[in-house]
Structure 1
Amino acid sequence: MAGRVEGKVALVTGGASGIGRACAERLAQEGAVVVVTDVQDAKGAETVEAIAAAGGKAEYLRHDVTSEDAWIGVVAQVEARHGRLDILVNNAGIGLGGSVFDMSLADFQRQTAVNVDGVFLGVKHAIPLMRKSGDGGSVINMSSVAGLKGAPNLAGYCATKGAVRLFTKAVAMECANAKDGVRVNSVHPGIIETPIWDTIVGTVEPGSNAGPARPATLDAMAEMAVPLGFKGLPGDIADGVLWLASAESRYVTGAELVIDGGLSVR
């Protein structure tokens, strides 16, 4: 099925690499005009070039999701250039592993600023434009399996992703009460081949809910921890995001889409 988000305008934060890039490419492939935002300018430009080479439409904006002024500016640019916003993928995030007893307050707060404040600011400033557009919209907040289950040495990360999960549900109910047509859902990836694992591998214990990190490679981690026996790819998450962004999920709001190979229920 082609053109599942044809004519829609999508904003994807953290879209320069990993899951964000896969989401941007998938939405563009299915007809959306995609605004890719990140602080990785070179990689952001590469993502836009790749989308254009594949026949899609995209542009890149530098964007610090922890800054309210930056959010105001980005949403204003989206409105000025496209006149509407239909899809928001709050994907930007960082993962800092390590014992909570060793983590500095500065690192805890930095992780919270990106993973929680960034989602809050996205909702606060993007949904009004969706409402103004008149056709509702879809907000997809990137949480994690770590937002469903606790894990040793991932307390700070779990705290942020758990916050995203319940924040999503509360905002979904607020939009539903307003009858504004905006749906709000969260996605919960498991062990996916992305750069975020560079700061997590080696910090959690074998058999933990977030996945063991004693083995040297992500493949070994997945083989040990994931019931399906293998790691996921960014495209696996992008397919779920596309479904939530499309009219196929028109009756879905406040839900959590878990894409983890069975990791969270093991």
Structure 2
Amino acid sequence: MTTGPLALITGGQQGIGLGIAEALSRAGFRVVLVSDLPPDAPPARAALHRLGDRASYFRHDIADTAAIPGLLDRIVAAHGGIDCLISNAGVPARVRGDLLDMLPENFDWTMSVNLRGTFFLAQEVARRMIADPGEAYRSLIFVTSISASMVSTERGEYCMSKAGAAMMAQLFAARLAGDGIGVFDLRPGIIRSGMTEKVAEKYDRMIGDGLVPAGRWGKPADLGRIVVPLALGLLDFANGAVIPADGGLSIPRL
């Protein structure tokens, strides 16, 4: 039987989430991947194959807040209490376009996952962490975005959802610090993943023109290396920290 602290990673079957899952698994964590894909979907099967016997998979639609208690009950019954929540799952703007043309249904779709569903999952995980402390360091790590503070008018609903998620992280940090639960806001920049695939040529040009001081795309593994010390509690007194993971993109420059 595998042992070690348990990390729940939403959207852990691909991209940034999978990069984080691999890093945590190497650091001794057991990882539970959660997404709305069927367990036999190719990304889910491939992720479990890569991660081996330290990983398991549970299907859940982040927007379905009524299903959260049942999801956590199943995870706890199978693996025990959750020590680390990596709140990574998110959706982009459904349609990129003029801010003045945004439709309410597209706004609601983005918010239902990136803000509403994300909040209520974290709320329930935090409640259970307090009720059953366990022995390992406990943490909530929100993967937000540089879009929490950098404007893209063609995807305004995404920016607003990530700004809200950044405030969510601060709220949880202030509420949970006294319970010994670390909360962190990790803000990726331009990361090579499925979400950026359709605009890769645009970002290639912009990075080539000096947009990112590091001169390259970010990779999911970059995020994984940052998350490990947070989840292990090595930065516990930095509770509430906002950590840019963007190669210097968000540094104000003249």
Give TM-score scaled by structure 2 length. Answer: 0.90
SS in 1 for 2:112: helix
Match of 1:191 in 2: 190
Comparing 34-43 with 137-146, greater Cα deviation is found at 34-43
Shift of 1:47: 0.7
More helix by proportion, 1 or 2? 2
Q: Does 1:234 align with 2:234?
A: no
Distance 1:99 1:253 in 2: 37
Q: Which runs of 4+ in 1 moved over 2 A?
A: 216-224
SS in 2 for 1:192: coil
- Which of 11, 18, 33 pairs up with 1:14? 11
Match of 1:221 in 2: 206
AA aligned to 2:44 is: G
Match of 2:45 in 1: 45
Pairs within 5 Å for 1:30-69: 30-41=27-38, 42=41, 43-52=43-52, 56-69=53-66
Shift of 1:252: 1.9
- Gap change, CA 1:239 and 1:188, over 3 Å in 2: same
Shift of 1:247: 2.1
Shift of 1:198: 4.1
Structure 1 segments unaligned to the other structure (5+ residues)? 1-5, 202-212
Match of 1:258 in 2: 244
AA aligned to 2:25 is: A
Give RMSD over aligned pairs: 1.6
Shift of 1:254: 1.1
Distance 1:35 1:146 in 2: 27
Match of 1:84 in 2: 81
AA aligned to 2:22 is: E
Distance 2:231 2:204 in 1: 30
Match of 2:107 in 1: 108
Aligned residues between the structures: 242
SS in 1 for 2:8: strand
Shift of 1:149: 1.8
* Equivalent pair of 2:182/2:233 in contact (CA under 8 Å): no
SS in 2 for 1:236: helix
Match of 2:131 in 1: 132
SS in 1 for 2:234: helix
